[in-house]
Amino acid sequence: MNKISPRRGFFKLLILLIIAVFLLWYFKVDVRGFADSTEGQAIIAKGKDLWYVLWDKILKEPALYLYNFFINTILPTIQSHLLNPSTPTVQGVQ
């Protein structure tokens, strides 16, 4: 049975970003000039609006759940193990 790694999507995105940066460099695309232009500003504004909608409608609830789960469950467990380490015992070793 093949298991899909949750990190697989992150690495694909990272590779795509590296390829995109390389292509922009190779074709000498002026990203700063585009971002400073009025068209670039309009596209950036639409992207920000899209991000806010995605955050409010889709991403906010799962992100807050994971944050609260980490703060309320995992972090206290880690702190208790760091502050009160139990000494492991190995049979036959004195």
* pLDDT for 53: 93
What percentage of the chain has pLDDT greater than the value 90? 39
* pLDDT for 3: 57
> Rounded distance, CA 92 to CA 71, Å?
39
Q: Mean pLDDT across the stretch 65-91? A: 79
Q: Are 44 and 35 in contact (CB under 8 A)?
A: yes
Q: Mean pLDDT across the stretch 36-53? A: 93
What Å distances lie between residue 41 and 7, 23, 24, 38, 46, CA to CA?
33, 22, 19, 5, 9
Q: Are 34 and 40 in contact (CB under 8 A)?
A: yes
- pLDDT of 28 > 70? The answer is yes
> Rounded distance, CA 32 to CA 60, Å?
31
Q: Are 24 and 31 in contact (CB under 8 A)?
A: yes
User: Quick count: other Cβ atoms within 10 Å of Cβ 40?
Assistant: 14
Q: What average pLDDT does the structure give for the chain?
A: 83
Q: Mean pLDDT across the stretch 2-26? A: 79
